[in-house]
Amino acid sequence: MDIIAHRGDSSLAPENTLAAIGLAWDRGADGVEIDVRLSKDRRIVAVHDETAKRAAGKNWAIASHTLAELQTLDVGGRKNREWSGERIPALDEVLAVLPADKKLIVEIKCGEEILPVLEDVLARPGNPEKRVALAGFSLTVMSRAKKLFPNIPVYWNAKFARRFGAWRPAADDLIHKAGDAGMDGLSLKACGAITSRLAHKAKHASLSLHVWTVDSPALAKTMAHLGVDSLITNHPGWIRAELTK
């Protein structure tokens, strides 16, 4: 089971920055998950929200500013003074620091307009296409991504809600939709809906299973017992240490 750092080691460093990604490697994470959006000048940037308000205190829409403009923002100081000066990285910069034995999950936070740009970035010489996976909440976007990138694992992100005593969506519906869309895996919010039955059905449907955001040792051990393929966590070093006890 892989330990994947959620937006890098975001418990210690500002999320989706090169600092957080570097700390994840230092703490033995098997991979890193980052969020990406498209800038005004069609560069792929690692940032979660539609605006830079939470990260940098500037209510700038990511899609309305160029990479150069976005990289004038300090996205580290709000986390801690020691991270002052950290910038929003381009996907190219993240790929450049991806070690040969590590993985990168790229979560698409915008629409399908990012896909042609992503195709160009991953086609460049030296980019580690075999160690990259794509994920996202839009099944339409992820289905189109799978058609464009047949050799890259593509995961569908989904959440569950408890309604009238049952979890929704039902496991069977989730798995059928993912299979029909050509997905390679499911990336699910960790909760009581993830059971041995769901894990078994996903495996039977040839879908890998990834869970987020697992920040307690007890939950991590439960998910490991169910045989999930990866845990996505804000505390990669701590969770790995707890799992080895």
> Catalytic residues, which ones?
6, 48
Q: Taking the alpha carbons of 98, 101, 107, 113 in that order, is the dihedral positive or negative? A: positive
**For every residue of the chain, which 3-state class applies, written as one string?**
CEEEEECCCCCCCCCCCHHHHHHHHHCCCCEEEEEEEECCCCCEEECCCCECHHHHCCCCEHHHCCHHHHCCCCCCCCCCHHHCCCCCCEHHHHHHCCCCCCEEEEEECCCHHHHHHHHHHHHCCCCCHHHEEEEECCHHHHHHHHHHCCCCCEEEEECCEEECCEEECCHHHHHHHHHHCCCCEEEEECCCCCCHHHHHHHHHCCCEEEEECCCCHHHHHHHHHHCCCEEEECCHHHHHHHHCC
Tokens of 242: 């707890």
